[in-house]
Amino acid sequence: MGNHFEIEVILFMGVAFLCLVADKWLISLKIVTNLVFFLGNNVVFYIMVINVIIKQLFANLTILVSLLFLYTQISSSAPLQSSSSATRKIFAGIIGGLLSNILMHYSIRIETTMIDLRHIPIILLAYYGGALPTVTAMILVILGRFMIGVSPAAYASIILVTFIGFFALFISKCSYLKKLKSFLCLLFQISSFQV
């Protein structure tokens, strides 16, 4: 199977998961039904592949939630805000960058492409802290990606991480409802959680 086909299957599952999160059960069921129809005769093989992918994404999600919980317990007295001090913002950016690097080490690898949730800490930093922690975390993510390996996918990662960071900053500054901001950032992250 080609790399593009596997990525299409992963994107199908990502959209189905996003619909489940948004309480759109019927849309999610329709997407999964279309996926089974799309896969054709090799359904058992692809269900096994999807099972492995879901397990790895679950591990990624578990790491993300655990470390975010730990961070909130440590910083519960003064949570990160756009009015926080520069030192606090840089510290939060370093923590977010380290979290993203940990998530990269537990990623799904397809050739030189890595699929993971490393963009979520950047989105959260942009949403709660503003530009300084976001840029700090983006720099650490870019350095961490190059430490894993230099490839065309690593160069594409620079562009993608930068774009996601600035898109999340833009969305966080807009006057949309909180749910719409969260939905837009998650939709953008799911559509681009590779490289």
Among 195, 176, 189, CA closest to 15: 189
Q: What local confidence, expressed as pLDDT, does residue 133 receive?
A: 93
Task: Band the pLDDT of 136: cuts 50, 70, 90.
Answer: very high
The pLDDT of residue 53 is above 50: yes
Least confident of 23-32, 63-72, 76-85, 174-183: 23-32
Residue found under tokens 């730990």: 70
Q: How, if at all, do strands 108-110 and 113-115 pair?
A: antiparallel
Global pTM reads 0.69
Provide the strand spans (E) within the chain: 108-110, 113-115
Percent of the chain with pLDDT over 70: 65
Q: Which residue has the higher pLDDT, 138 or 27?
A: 138
Maximum mean pLDDT: which of 4-13, 69-78, 97-106, 145-154: 97-106
Least confident of 16-25, 40-49, 146-155: 16-25
The pLDDT of residue 27 is above 70: no
Q: What local confidence, expressed as pLDDT, does residue 132 receive?
A: 93
Summary mean pLDDT of the chain: 75
- Let me know: does 10 contact 190? Beta carbons within 8 Å: no
Residue 79 phi/psi, 5° resolution?
-65, 160
Mean pLDDT of all residues in 12-31: 56
Q: What local confidence, expressed as pLDDT, does residue 64 receive?
A: 85
Mean pLDDT of all residues in 107-129: 80
Q: What local confidence, expressed as pLDDT, does residue 98 receive?
A: 92
Task: Band the pLDDT of 39: cuts 50, 70, 90.
Answer: low
Report the 10 Å Cβ neighbour count for 81.
11
Instruction: Compute CA distances 113 → 5, 33, 56, 149, whole Å.
Output: 13, 27, 15, 10
Among 152, 164, 168, CA closest to 193: 164
